[in-house]
Amino acid sequence: MDLRTQTSLTAALLAIAIATSVLLRSRKRRTHRAFGLFGLNIGFWYLTTFLAGVVHSPITRRLNLMVGVFLPLAAISFFGAFAEPGSQRARKLNRAALFSAAVLLVATLTPLYKSIFVGTALFLNVFVFVFASLYLLWERSAAARSRFERARLRFLGLVGALACSFTILEYLPLVGLDLPPVGTVLVLVFLYVLAQSIARERLLDLYELAGRLAVLTVLAFALAAVLWALVMATGGQFFLHGVVSALVMLVLFDPVRDKVEQMISQVLLRERHDFERTLTDLKGRIAHVLEVEDLVKTLLDGLELSGRVTHASVYLLGPERLRFELHGHVGAAPPERLEIGPARPLTARLDSGGAVVLEWVERELEERRELGEDREAETLYELSQTMEALLAGVALGIRSTAGELYGLLCVRDERVRDAFSPEEVQLLRAVANQAAVALENSRLYLDMKERDRLASLGEMAAGLAHEIRNPLGAIKASAQYLEDPETGASEGREFLDIIVEEVDRLDHVVGSFLDYARPGRGNAPPLDVNVAVERTLQILGPELSSAETEVVCELAPGLPMVAIEGVRLRQVLINLVQNSVQAMGAGGRVTLCTRATQAHAGRGSVEIQVEDTGPGIDESVRDTLFLPFVTTRERGTGLGLAVSQRLVTAAGGLIQVRSRSGWGTTFVVRLPAVRASDPQNA
């Protein structure tokens, strides 16, 4: 038995196994059935070639030729399955192939079946029609909906061309050219790649598969070459030569495989690696965000900067849990809200898979319709329409560690239809999971702030009761004196003045308390700090003059804007300047200066300094300086600095004090500068 006959049997079994594995799929489409027919035809060709080599009879020879006649029809059926339905060229090519096959079948039944003419005609028939079907596939790729689909079809055409080319080499003995059966191995390799090409829809998966098979094929032929060289050089000892060849390949396998896979990653998968690095950086930034608005902004900005997303949006569950509400987006504006009812198909799919990809949904919808599963197809259609309305190519659930769905992250690249590979979808899922963790931390942070605020209010209530009790006592005593009929007019006037003064004091205490307890308001318009400082000095002008206080104002020009209400910043500055004046008594100097800095929360800020020449603040008082109702003055409420700190903190800034006994005091107010990209400055 010659080498060709031996390899034909092995090739027949492997080709039939590959075709059968595709035909045994639970959900078969037209392309799967067409490939099964194509693979079985190749398998039966090798099987009849084996039989013709073992049983030398006219029947096996004719049977081998007949199977060969059907190969172009199987190729046209398989590659034509990717063509546009109802293609005129595909129908014409199929009719021509049927006519040619009928003529050749008749020829194989005549005594001419052994002639070189019939063999040559059969070879040309296979060559012409197989490559004509591949040309149809190439034309179809040019009209594909996306560049990834186009690249996938061209990859399929290239692999098909290689498989068919090596198959055609197996027909060369019919025209008198008997080459070594090297093509048999390669036919099986590329037939396997074809099977994977229709099973795996992703282009990147096919690139990786092709690369690995290329490594294995090269190593297999290298093993055969080393073995052949040893046998030719030294003769016998085939077993020893086989062991030596295997050891050579084992030594070379890892470095060759790593090198080829590295080249594939650098050339074909570079975009995915860049995307992975960008998302990893984004996850790190999200982990340090505590405010919901900052989380949404950081998430959307990071996705947009990746260069792989043209549309992105974040939906969070509303307080009534009846709808998802839009909290931010990039690209075209999606709907402002998504009701829970219409979102059921999407949320149900997210519960089972964590991510929904529009491309996969549409592919499954097509399969369901082909299989006649109308109910499932209707659900998938509703799901695809919901995702189209949300401008989502991929929808991901923002889900707590306990499984609660907080919201949705939708991303899309409108430039391509199948923009994200399964691996990239997993990377996006990791980002959504990190966003969910940040959202949980944000809620815990808000709860903690609320608890701190309530605790602070409790402490303040006790201080407020103490502050109110004193003026109430003075008012009561004054009223009792006024009730005495022996009280004179001048004395009555004095007690009335006391009552008015103490009522004003009560009003000041209660007003300051409300200022502290009232939560800060966001989205303040941009403010020029220098204008606020100048207006404050105008308001305090008479008071500073009567106190004989010298005022020095040093305002840096061209400062960036800050986001705080003017009335609130003036209130802070008035508190600080009045504290300085009261600490110095008559005389002294207050210096106000402004400047820009670059060290607040990773972006620029504006700094305001209020410096006095007073006695300074004792070290024992500094730690409690900003606590409510803590004061060093006899009739002070202790709320001025507490209110000032709360107002500055609500604007995203901070307030600090630098002081030393006998050397004066400097209060520093630092506020973040408004960037051009901030929403309130848009």
CB 290 within 8 A of CB 260: no
Confidence of residue 89 (pLDDT cuts 50, 70, 90): confident
656 shares its domain with 556: yes
| Least confident among 5-9, 318-322, 447-451 | 447-451
Determine the pLDDT at residue 528: 92
Determine the pLDDT at residue 516: 59
CATH number (domain holding residue 317): 3.30.450.40
Q: Name the percent of the chain lying above pLDDT 90.
A: 6
Determine the pLDDT at residue 555: 92
Determine the pLDDT at residue 680: 47
Confidence of residue 144 (pLDDT cuts 50, 70, 90): low
Confidence of residue 368 (pLDDT cuts 50, 70, 90): confident
570 shares its domain with 639: yes
Task: Find the mean pLDDT for residues 559-580.
Answer: 86
Comparing 417 with 470, which gets the higher pLDDT?
Answer: 417
- Partners of 551 in beta bridges: 590
Please provide the average confidence, as pLDDT, over all residues in the chain: 76
441 shares its domain with 537: no
Of 424, 445, 466, the domain-final residue:
445
Nearest to 43 by CA among 165, 170, 131, 130: 170
- Provide CB contacts within 8 A for 386, sequence distance 6+: 338, 342, 343, 345, 346
CA distance 279 to 274: 9
CATH number (domain holding residue 54): 1.20.1070
Of 390, 424, 445, the domain-final residue:
445
373: left (phi over 0), alpha (psi -120 to 50) or beta: beta
Comparing 434 with 226, which gets the higher pLDDT?
Answer: 434
Question: Per-residue pLDDT tens for 241-268?
Answer: 566 666 766 676 677 667 766 665 555 5
pLDDT beyond 50 at 679: no
Determine the pLDDT at residue 395: 92
Confidence of residue 314 (pLDDT cuts 50, 70, 90): very high
Determine the pLDDT at residue 595: 92
CA distance 370 to 441: 47
Determine the pLDDT at residue 409: 92
Of 238, 268, 298, the domain-final residue:
268
CA distance 163 to 165: 5
Determine the pLDDT at residue 601: 39
Is 609 a member of any domain? yes
Determine the pLDDT at residue 606: 92
636 shares its domain with 579: yes
Is 125 a member of any domain? yes
CA distance 642 to 624: 10
Nearest to 64 by CA among 8, 23, 19, 16: 8
337 shares its domain with 440: yes
pLDDT beyond 60 at 205: no
Tokens 């149900």, residue located: 348
pLDDT beyond 60 at 180: no
| Least confident among 249-253, 317-321, 555-559, 589-593 | 249-253
pLDDT beyond 50 at 214: yes
Is 453 a member of any domain? no
Confidence of residue 602 (pLDDT cuts 50, 70, 90): very low
Task: Please indicate, yes or no, whether the overall pTM of this predicted structure exceeds 0.85.
Answer: no
Phi first, then psi: give them for residue 608, nearest 5 degrees: -120, 125
* Structural domain range at position 657: 522-681
Determine the pLDDT at residue 264: 58
260 shares its domain with 280: no
Comparing 500 with 110, which gets the higher pLDDT?
Answer: 110
Task: Find the mean pLDDT for residues 1-5.
Answer: 63
537 shares its domain with 671: yes
Phi first, then psi: give them for residue 397, nearest 5 degrees: -85, 135
pLDDT beyond 60 at 440: yes
**Judging by beta carbons within 10 Å of its beta carbon (0-12, 13-18, 19+), is residue 90 exposed, middle or buried?**
buried
248 shares its domain with 306: no
158 shares its domain with 222: no
261 shares its domain with 319: no
Structure tokens given for 640: 């001025």
237 shares its domain with 128: no
Q: Name the percent of the chain lying above pLDDT 70.
A: 65
- Partners of 554 in beta bridges: 593
CB atoms within 10 A of CB 488: 9
> How many separate domains does the chain show?
4
Is 477 a member of any domain? no
- Partners of 527 in beta bridges: 562
257 shares its domain with 283: no
Is 104 a member of any domain? yes
pLDDT beyond 80 at 582: yes
Give one DSSP letter per residue of 402-420, joined into a string: TS-EEEEEEEE-TT-SS--
Is 381 a member of any domain? yes
CA distance 430 to 421: 14
Is 558 a member of any domain? yes
CATH number (domain holding residue 609): 3.30.565.10
Question: Per-residue pLDDT tens for 474-519?
Answer: 676 667 666 666 655 666 667 677 677 667 767 666 666 666 555 5
Is 433 a member of any domain? yes
| Least confident among 24-33, 67-76, 261-270, 346-355 | 261-270
